[in-house]
Structure 1
Amino acid sequence: MKHQPIHEIDALGGIAQVQGATLSRRERLQRWADLLSRNPDRQLKPLSRVEFYAERERALLRGENTPISVALADPVLREAGLQGDTLGDAQKFFELSAAEAHYLLCDCHFPGQMDAEGMANRIRKVATPKSLWSRIWM
């Protein structure tokens, strides 16, 4: 086995270096959406009944193969500060309001299946600043 510095290994995998760089909220959300778009047909699991939990319990919600777990698997987002795969971790890192987190991750918004490309599109909507008028109609 050949030993290589981590920056050389990262370069082989196409991983962007973010050492010391701070990603804006929009950049973090865009990266998350881009990760999901890499495998657009991937079926993901939403979180169940998010709105029925008390705030403290809601923050601890997690699951296997969720959009949050996709984000956590990315070394760039972890380096930027994503600490775990709970709803609370995602809300804190991506600066999501309770309404945005519910819109993105709750099963009540996904009749049928949740696919990665659809989730990426939702994340991009949240990441894109809008006028007050357009937010009313979202």
Structure 2
Amino acid sequence: MKYQSIEQLQAYAEIQSGNPQLQMSRTERLERWAELLEREPDRRLGTLSGTEFAPYEARQTMRASGSPLTVAFEDVAFRAAGLTDDSYGEAKRFFSLSDRQLHNIVCYCHFGETVKGDIAARRVRSAIGLWPRIRAFFA
């Protein structure tokens, strides 16, 4: 095998560094999450109880088995991009969501014990905001 520098290899092939999934924007991440939820629109997903009342430290570690957060964590691309678990705090960090936005997606007070996948997907898309969706529509 002959050693060649990256510069030499560029003459033969286009070289891309890293995994393209790792470079998703916030909007792309949220859109992908919504698409994952829509794959099973009638799936009943667990909710988290009392996210608005829990102390900060407790809220960060809140999780529910089979929640919309679990759907995101099950995605290989999200894990490769740095999603480390299906907790409230990790989802808030990874998707760059405010407490209010994440509360609207996963909290028991909005849906009861479970939320359907398609409804959670709509809530995820609403967290994207209006202007990014308008730009994507015309792009």
The two structures have a TM-score, normalised by structure 1, of 0.77
1:8 alignment partner in structure 2: none
Q: How many residues align?
A: 114
Asked if structure 1 preserves the Cα contact closer than 8 Å seen for 2:108 and 2:114, the reply is no
1:68 alignment partner in structure 2: 69
**Residues 102-136 of structure 1, C-alpha deviations (whole Å, 9 max, x = no match):** 11111111147410001001111111335xxxxxx
Instruction: List structure 1 runs of 4+ shifted beyond 3 angstroms.
Output: none
Unaligned runs of 5+ in 1: 1-17, 131-138
SS in 2 for 1:121: helix
2:19 alignment partner in structure 1: 19
Structure 2 CA distance for aligned equivalents of residues 90 and 71 of structure 1: 9
Unaligned runs of 5+ in 2: 1-17, 132-139
Deviation at 1:27, TM superposition (A): 0.4
Query: What letter corresponds to residue 44 of structure 1 in structure 2?
Result: L
SS in 2 for 1:48: coil
1:96 alignment partner in structure 2: 97
Structure 2 CA distance for aligned equivalents of residues 35 and 27 of structure 1: 12
1:57 and 2:66 matched: no
1:36 and 2:25 matched: no
Query: What letter corresponds to residue 79 of structure 1 in structure 2?
Result: A
Deviation at 1:81, TM superposition (A): 1.2
Asked if structure 1 preserves the Cα contact closer than 8 Å seen for 2:44 and 2:117, the reply is yes
- Structure 1 residues 67-76 or 106-115, which shifts more? 106-115
The two structures have a TM-score, normalised by structure 2, of 0.77
Deviation at 1:101, TM superposition (A): 1.1
Mark the structure with the bigger radius of gyration.
2
Asked if structure 1 preserves the Cα contact closer than 8 Å seen for 2:47 and 2:112, the reply is no
CA RMSD of aligned residues (A): 1.8
SS in 2 for 1:85: coil
Query: What letter corresponds to residue 118 of structure 1 in structure 2?
Result: I
Deviation at 1:41, TM superposition (A): 0.5
Structure 1 CA distance for aligned equivalents of residues 130 and 81 of structure 2: 22
